[in-house]
Amino acid sequence: MIIAFVMGEKANEIIGSIKKSLSNSPKSISEISKEAEINWRTAEQYLELLKKLGLVIETEIKNTRTFLLRDKDNYFDLPIKEKDQKVISAIYYQTKKFCNESYRKDPTKTQAYKIIWNVNRKLNLGLPIGWYRYGPCCVQIYRGDEQDFKLDSRISRSVKESTEEYCSMDSSSLQNKIYVDEKKDLYLAKKKLIEMADAGNKEDLNNILMDLIKFAPKETVEVVTDFARATLLLGWEKTQECFNESVWKYVAMVIFKDSLEFYYKNGLNQYFNKRIEEVKREAQLQILNLVKNRPK
């Protein structure tokens, strides 16, 4: 039974210690108890409370009760190490500052994510940044109200240089530049498909769809192939909504998960698998309904 806690200063301190412990990696109750400097029973009681509030996930790893943090401020509720949170917030803060200084405007989310990705890869910072629906995307969501934090001068310099370059481009041009520079054939094929002006050109459409199948992650090929067949049968104008709402969302989720393995190593399945399966079923159902309801 969960003890009814009065959320005073001590309780908030304990919860903060537990969340800090879990931000670094999934842990058992004993490991959390040791890091948070609380006894085992207290750790268990607070973890049960946090689980009820939807702030932690319980799973079993090697026959041990293991807990994972859910951070509602991040994509897919993924946790981020405390030291990395500060660096990311500071990069976002400086991105906004430099963008306003150079262009008298706030950066878009697309620009903010591409800037931090560029800084991260140039300086090998190891931040949790993967490839998602529109290319590089940081797990920590850009909100525009981040707090400043003293950064190494080389990071600040790289942020300034990247901001001056990337904030001069609109989101579409910036995405395309990165897809081309990084030789991301799947994203280039997706962009070509979305921008198709002549859905009746079967040869061009067929080539783009074949590229989608060719470059899609292995586990998504079946769904992408079914979508391609439906599009050739019905035309792009009839399947465009299905692609944007579910097919590409499904493919991008798989890519995002795979591209974040370097940072999380264990536990990603708990955050992704159920959602990926739900979007996969949604895509399959939409494709099936489109084909079943086509004009005879």
Dihedral, CA of residue 109, residue 110, residue 115 and residue 116, to nearest 10:
60
The answer to whether residue 4 is domain-embedded is no
Please check the confidence at residue 212 and state whether its pLDDT lies above 70.
yes
Q: What is the pLDDT of residue 179?
A: 98
Domain end (from 122, 155, 181): 181
Judgement on whether residues 155 and 139 belong to the same structural domain of the protein: yes
Domain end (from 153, 181, 209): 181
Judgement on whether residues 176 and 222 belong to the same structural domain of the protein: no
Please check the confidence at residue 141 and state whether its pLDDT lies above 70.
yes
Q: What is the pLDDT of residue 197?
A: 55
Q: What is the pLDDT of residue 3?
A: 43
Q: What is the pLDDT of residue 26?
A: 85
Long-range contacts, stretch 191-195, CB < 8 angstroms, 24+ apart: 193/236, 193/243, 194/240, 194/243, 194/244
The answer to whether residue 3 is domain-embedded is no
Judgement on whether residues 108 and 138 belong to the same structural domain of the protein: yes
What's the domain count of the chain? 3
The answer to whether residue 125 is domain-embedded is yes
Please check the confidence at residue 295 and state whether its pLDDT lies above 90.
no
Domain end (from 160, 181, 202): 181
- For residue 202, give its domain range: 185-292
The answer to whether 238 touches 295, Cβ cutoff 8 Å, is no
By three-state DSSP, how is residue 27 classified?
strand
Provide the whole-model pTM: 0.89
